[in-house]
Amino acid sequence: MIWLYIAGIVIFVLGLMASIGLHEIGHLVPAKLFGVRVTQYMVGFGGTMWSRRRGETEYGIKWIPFGGYIRMIGMLPPRPGDDPTKLRRASTGPFQGLIDTARDVAQEEVGPGDEDRVFYRKKWWQKVIIMFGGPLMNFVLAFVLFTILLVGIGLPGLSPVVSPDTNACVVPHGQTRTVCAAGDQPTPAAKAGMKAGDRIVAFNGVKVANWEEATQKIRKNGPGPVTVGIIRDGRPMTLNVTLIGREAIDDPTAKTKGEGFLGVQATRIYEQQSFGTVIGYMATLTGHVAESLVNLPQRMVGVWHAAFSGEERDPNGPIGVVGAGRIGGEIAASGLPVKDKLFELVNLLAGFNLAIGMFNLIPLLPLDGGHIAGGLWEGLKRAYARVMRRPEPGYVDIAKVLPLTYALAMVMIVMAGLLVYADLVNPIKLSG
């Protein structure tokens, strides 16, 4: 239904905005704690939808909900050796002019009495904490969401309990038939009297603990008579069943009957996990995300081919917010049970937060990781100077790498645009 599809997109967008808002709070709180003057806290980009000033900070929401920022004064240090009482000789080089202009803009909001409230003059470890606070909030939110999934809802799995959706007759692979037609062959399970709700506990006298063990034994056995131990309404029972070959289902004339076929469908269940499982689950996903980031350039080539050459989209490849929103809509509009929809939507938001946090830690400007790297480098320089009994070095001047920063920002904009286009013309779909 279209309204469910729209609701799924809205839920994802609201979750995304909440994630962005918390990310920026991760920067805002330590910045204010360390005395940096923050003039703006905004969720989104573009024109301002709503804003309100509290103290020295303007808090607001903008129309494009695909990002956010806080504005701290003095992000860049002034030009070394500048004397504010004298005119400065203009720079003629294109890069130097760009840097000087950025320095001037950074100093515009610095007023009298703000000398110790600028970002660049804070201790190196304070800079690291301020800039790491954003990704940290994404990691915390991802952990909370994954805890809700694994501990609260549980991991989806299959139980060796006969599902009510099980076909009573043999149908070709991939088909579903709720009512058997005249002449249809009953499944081996139906012939033996197996019913929905029966729990399979043994096969040929050997206990089975889960659905995977049961299916392995059934398939490995092949066609022929077997015994299946079940529990029905709390009472153990043994059924005599004659399995048929899987290959004979699609082709009755097949000489090779192949794997054994019982004809039951497992019941989907959710198994609640421990808090320790959440840590291991996130650690595994973090490794996958890190690998994806390392291979991002190569994966973006695949996105390009999918967008402009019609190649199949890699379901495990990069996806933008537009594509993730579409998946949210597909989840909500799908025929899955409500619990399954809730699991998939929460899992989508949790994974997105983990990816946002990891991406922002890339040690390149304008990402948070670039500022963190600058703060750590400054700390190393100061520690080296103390050990070598040398004069304390000045602040790390990240303005010097602004040309590279702008170039990287352009690359990121192009990548984001490519993802949006690919998500529109050749999206990754829930069904794969």
Please write down the HEC assignment for all residues of 134-155.
HHHHHHHHHHHHHHHHHHHHCE
The three-state secondary structure class of 59 is strand
Active site residue 24: yes
Q: What is the phi-psi region of residue 80: left when phi exceeds 0, alpha when psi lies from -120 to 50, beta otherwise?
A: beta
Helix or strand (DSSP H, E) at 72: strand 57-72
Please state, in angstroms and as integers, the Cα–Cα distance from residue 34 to each residue in 4, 14, 330, following that order: 45, 30, 44
**Residues sharing a CB contact under 8 Å with residue 62, sequence separation 6 or more, in sequence order:** 42, 43, 44, 45, 46, 47, 48, 49
d(CA 213, CA 203): 9
Going through 180-338 in order, the beta strands assigned E by DSSP cover: 199-203, 206-207, 224-232, 235-245, 260-261, 266-271
d(CA 17, CA 23): 10
Nearest to 243 by CA among 265, 212, 264, 266: 264
Q: Residue 169 in contact with residue 186, Cβ under 8 Å?
A: yes
Tokens of 307: 């967008």
Tokens of 169: 């007759």
Helix or strand (DSSP H, E) at 344: helix 338-360
Nearest to 239 by CA among 196, 186, 200, 184: 200
Set 24, 330, 344, 378: catalytic member:
24
d(CA 91, CA 315): 49
For the annotated catalytic residues, the residue numbers are 24
